[in-house]
């Protein structure tokens, strides 16, 4: 479907909300990874405010500022970690003996 939807590519910032949402979610995951217990204390509250509060207000509940570059850097660090994990798995698969499957 992506190939037949030119507005995905021709409209400026069309995909911005999706990109922002993914990076915001990864930033939340990074915060969770740093301090799961503290994160869990606020999680239900934040979910109940989703759609009613701004990203800045939701971030404040978790104790971070979305205008702080370190929040977004942590989001990209999660992505980098996943890429590294994929690369390691792919390299391992490439060096493994060929697998055969029985019918």
Q: What is the pLDDT of residue 97?
A: 65
Contacts by 77-84, CB closer than 8 A, 24 or more apart: 77/30, 78/26, 78/27, 78/29, 78/30, 78/33, 79/26
pLDDT score recorded for residue 79: 94
Residues of the chain predicted below pLDDT 70: 2, 13, 97-103
pLDDT at 72: 94
pLDDT for residue 17: 82
Q: What are the boundaries of each domain within the chain?
A: 14-94
């Amino acid at each position: 479907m992506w190939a037949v939807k030119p507005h995905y590519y021709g409209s400026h910032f069309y995909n911005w909300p999706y990109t922002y949402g993914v990076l915001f979610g990864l930033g939340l995951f990074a915060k969770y990874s740093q301090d799961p217990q503290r994160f869990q204390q606020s999680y239900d509250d934040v979910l109940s405010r989703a759609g009613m509060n701004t990203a800045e207000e939701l971030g404040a509940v978790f104790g971070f500022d979305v205008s702080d570059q370190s929040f977004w850097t942590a989001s990209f660090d999660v992505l980098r970690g996943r890429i590294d994990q994929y690369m390691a798995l792919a390299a391992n698969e490439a060096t493994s003996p060929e697998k055969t499957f029985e019918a």
